[in-house]
């Protein structure tokens, strides 16, 4: 786990600047690799590759990067881990390859020389983002792992190609214009993150998961998909696994167990995040089988009982016998993280669980350098509420003619606030006072959707009026760009949408930035691509039954932990954001909004934004997540000085 950066200046008159520019780029992401720094350049070609090292395997100088292949033809700068490196090394040794050290970087390069890049990727299980320079062909290939665990930004600055693990590496190049892309901005306000391959700045984008980009000396770019999630999903559901629940659970547990075992290979201490939920508890239960001396686990606890999962985690840890550490966190501790967020997340990012994620990463880094997490369980096994809700209710709702549903939706949305509050109180569970009108309006908007994809899009939308707010059409939605889902069940389509969009754009972005800010490597066994491929073969009934999700993960976990310790209503890894915005964050939030409004009155439609902010502050509505998205945008712009365009 490391940080990478590079540039390729094809103009002969500026090549003497390559080393200095590269040094600035790597310095910007030094937090990702505190154990070493390396650079390689070929000034005649105008290419420079940089690397920041977080040493995990082969701590000796033989694991340092950028690394050249044995023949010298290829030079690699690489961020990530290859988990089946022992298998690859054995295969290559049998083919006659010899090795100087034990790093996975050297093994990968040997594979490229022996088998070629595409074949090596097919054999490789891991998480990675890399830049591979071919000295013979004078081409640069950028590669991102299958699920998008590791980030890779790419951009152009005055004819110079730039790439890096984080946007701040690219922004360190003086030729990159910091102008906000308004299409990406509209997409950000809609989803709370910059989605897909988009970039918040003009001229910057992301390499898509599962793809490689070959940049030639003539400027041409060839993009190739080496792992297609939609094809994996369709292929898996076309050939579903058979057997009863025990048989299915046995096979799934074996896949996850292998993934956990492989992720314990390290020359530095390994621990795990433990929230007490199903996913992290399962990872820890299997980890406890294999970790020498037992697993080390980490949790944080809040003084607000609505958000405190520490007691659940402690009970799981006690049952499994892990060496468990819990850090009590006060509101002041959490609030102290907020000023660092615009630097930590160098594109606007509005998932407020970024705060507790960073706090638990900081806690773990005090004892370990690697931490396993349970991320991915909801996506692979149908664990989000929207999965069960849409799969269960949409087929029934869709039987009502669309014009009638839209008439009902319009009627509900036109009701005065008092009537909406009263009617929303009749919702199952009564709704939450103050949030009832918002809940009902969202339900009404769902009624009017044409299909399940539209329902999904509405559920994950923050500012539905985003295009009007920024006076620009949003970029094509990654939800629409995702595969059509031909041949998939309704639940399969929902899982695919989450896995192709929300997972890389939100969850994995959050985990990467929050952990790497502390130089902690986070590994996600449930997102091993072989586990993912296996779960696509499972029938829907093994995943969701009625309104209960992750059925098979529950079955597996029950073999290790009594269900009474983990069966409880699903909660997110959250904070009392709404209360904080009305309380200790109120002055900061209003100052940010009013200051930006005064400085840039034409930049956004403040007439739409300010009333929503004020309604939340006054307690007339719960717009916490929408307001947070706005605040994270404004704080990011203030930090980085990006120009409205």
Look-up: residue for tokens 């990067």?
65
Residue-wise burial string across 452-488, b where 16 or more C-beta atoms lie within 10 A, e elsewhere? bbebbbbbbbbbeebbebbebebbebbbeebbebeeb
Backbone angle region of 293, left / alpha / beta, with phi > 0 → left and psi within -120 to 50 → alpha? left
Answer yes or no: are the C-beta atoms of 93 and 152 closer than 8 Å.
no
Token pair listed for 525: 């066994």
Token pair listed for 544: 């969701």
d(CA 3, CA 151): 10
Using CA atoms, how far residue 147 sits from 187, 406, 630, in Å, is 21, 37, 28
State yes or no: is 2 an active-site residue: yes
Active-site choice (1, 2, 391, 479): 2
Going through 54-180 in order, the beta strands assigned E by DSSP cover: 67-68, 74-82, 126-134, 139-144, 153-157, 160-164
d(CA 558, CA 278): 10
Report the interhelical angle of 452-459 vs 490-497 (nearest 10°): 40
Answer yes or no: are the C-beta atoms of 512 and 149 closer than 8 Å.
yes
d(CA 457, CA 450): 11
Token pair listed for 516: 């790497």
Answer yes or no: are the C-beta atoms of 257 and 558 closer than 8 Å.
no
d(CA 351, CA 244): 38
3-state secondary structure labels for all residues of 200-253: CECCEEECCCCEEEEECCCCCEEEEECCCHHHHHHHHHHCCCCCCHHHHHHHHH
Using CA atoms, how far residue 383 sits from 175, 209, 494, in Å, is 44, 22, 11
Token pair listed for 364: 């773990």
Using CA atoms, how far residue 153 sits from 116, 164, 171, 322, 601, in Å, is 24, 5, 11, 38, 31
d(CA 166, CA 512): 10
* Closest-CA residue to 614 (of 580, 567, 582, 571): 582
Answer yes or no: are the C-beta atoms of 137 and 120 closer than 8 Å.
no
Instruction: Show which residues are catalytic.
Output: 2
């Amino acid at each position: 786990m490391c940080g990478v950066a590079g540039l390729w200046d094809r103009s002969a008159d500026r090549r003497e600047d390559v080393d200095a520019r590269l040094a600035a780029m790597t310095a910007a992401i030094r937090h990702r690799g505190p154990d070493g720094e390396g650079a390689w350049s070929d000034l005649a070609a105008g290419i420079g590759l940089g690397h920041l090292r977080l040493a995990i395997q082969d701590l000796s100088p033989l694991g340092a990067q950028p690394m050249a292949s044995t023949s010298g033809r290829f030079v690699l700068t690489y961020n990530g881990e290859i988990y089946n490196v022992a298998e690859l090394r054995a295969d290559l040794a049998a083919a006659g390859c010899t090795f100087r050290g034990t790093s996975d970087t050297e093994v990968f390069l040997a594979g490229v020389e022996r088998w070629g890049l595409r074949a090596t990727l097919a054999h490789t299980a891991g998480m990675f983002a890399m830049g591979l320079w071919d000295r013979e062909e004078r081409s640069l290939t950028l590669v991102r792992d299958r699920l998008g665990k590791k980030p890779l930004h790419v951009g152009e600055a005055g004819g110079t190609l730039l790439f890096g693990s984080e946007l701040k590496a690219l922004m360190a190049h003086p030729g990159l214009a910091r102008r906000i892309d308004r299409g990406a901005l509209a997409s950000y306000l809609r989803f709370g993150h910059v989605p897909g391959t988009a970039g918040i700045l003009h001229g910057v984008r992301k390499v898509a998961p599962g793809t490689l980009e070959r940049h030639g000396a003539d400027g041409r770019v060839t993009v190739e998909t080496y792992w297609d999630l939609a094809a994996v999903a369709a292929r898996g559901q076309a050939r579903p696994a058979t057997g009863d629940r025990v048989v299915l659970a046995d096979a799934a547990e074996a896949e996850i167990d292998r993934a956990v075992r492989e992720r314990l290979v390290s020359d530095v201490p390994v621990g795990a995040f433990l929230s007490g939920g199903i996913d992290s508890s399962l990872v820890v239960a299997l980890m406890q089988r294999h970790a020498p001396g037992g697993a080390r686990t980490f949790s944080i606890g809040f003084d607000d009982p609505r958000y405190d999962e520490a007691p659940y985690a402690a009970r799981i840890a006690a049952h499994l016998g892990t060496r468990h550490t819990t850090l009590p966190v006060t509101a002041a501790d959490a609030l102290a993280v907020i000023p660092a967020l615009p630097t930590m997340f160098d594109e606007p990012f509005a998932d407020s669980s970024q705060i507790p994620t960073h706090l638990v990463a900081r806690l773990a880094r005090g004892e370990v350098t690697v931490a396993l997490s349970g991320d991915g369980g909801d996506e692979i096994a149908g664990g989000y509420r929207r999965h069960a809700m849409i799969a269960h209710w949409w087929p029934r709702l869709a039987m009502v003619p669309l014009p009638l549903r839209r008439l009902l939706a319009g009627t509900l949305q036109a009701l005065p606030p008092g009537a909406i509050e009263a009617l929303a109180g009749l919702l199952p569970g009564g709704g939450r006072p103050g949030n009832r009108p918002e809940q009902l309006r969202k339900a009404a908007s769902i009624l009017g959707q044409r299909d399940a994809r539209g329902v999904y899009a509405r559920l994950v939308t923050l500012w539905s009026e985003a295009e009007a707010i920024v006076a620009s059409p949003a970029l094509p939605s990654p939800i629409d760009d995702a595969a059509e889902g031909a041949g998939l069940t309704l639940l399969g389509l929902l899982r695919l949408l989450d896995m192709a969009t929300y997972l890389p754009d939100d969850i994995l972005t959050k985990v990467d930035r929050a952990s790497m800010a502390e130089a902690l490597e986070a590994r996600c066994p449930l997102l091993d691509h072989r586990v993912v491929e296996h779960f696509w073969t499972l029938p829907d009934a093994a995943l969701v039954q009625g309104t209960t999700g992750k059925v098979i993960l529950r079955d597996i976990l029950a073999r290790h932990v009594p269900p009474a310790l983990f069966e409880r209503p699903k909660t997110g890894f959250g904070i009392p954001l709404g209360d904080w915005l009305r309380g200790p964050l109120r002055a900061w939030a209003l100052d940010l909004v009013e200051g930006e409004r005064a400085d840039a009155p034409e930049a956004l439609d403040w007439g739409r934004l300010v009333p929503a902010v004020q309604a939340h502050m006054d307690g007339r509505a719960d717009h916490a997540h929408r307001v947070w998205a706005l605040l994270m945008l404004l704080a990011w712009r203030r930090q980085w000085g990006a120009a409205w365009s």
